[in-house]
């Protein structure tokens, strides 16, 4: 696993970068979209969602 992100700004910067990367992937997909490409996008979204939830939990623990 990677190094833990400590600060709120660092965590949000990570999220922004991942959203940008997801956007790049989606923009690069040609139509018609095949099942593998949809699964890749779904995996990226789920991974990002887990990270956002983790960052929210970190903030709740700090409060």
Q: Binning pLDDT at 50, 70 and 90, where does residue 5 land?
A: low
pLDDT tens-digit series, residues 13-61: 999 999 999 999 999 999 999 999 999 999 999 999 999 999 999 889 8
Given the structure tokens 């996008």, which residue do they identify? 41
Residue 18: partners with Cβ closer than 8 Å, 6 or more residues away: 44, 47, 48, 51
pLDDT at 7 over 90: no
Q: Give the pLDDT confidence score for residue 1 in this predicted structure.
A: 43
Q: Binning pLDDT at 50, 70 and 90, where does residue 6 land?
A: confident
Total length of the chain: 63
């Amino acid at each position: 696993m990677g190094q833990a992100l400590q600060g709120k700004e660092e965590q949000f910067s990570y999220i922004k970068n991942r959203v940008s990367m997801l956007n790049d992937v989606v923009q690069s997909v040609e139509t018609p979209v095949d099942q593998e490409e949809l699964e890749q996008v779904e995996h990226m979204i789920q991974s990002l969602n887990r990270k956002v939830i983790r960052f929210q939990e970190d903030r709740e623990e700090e409060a």
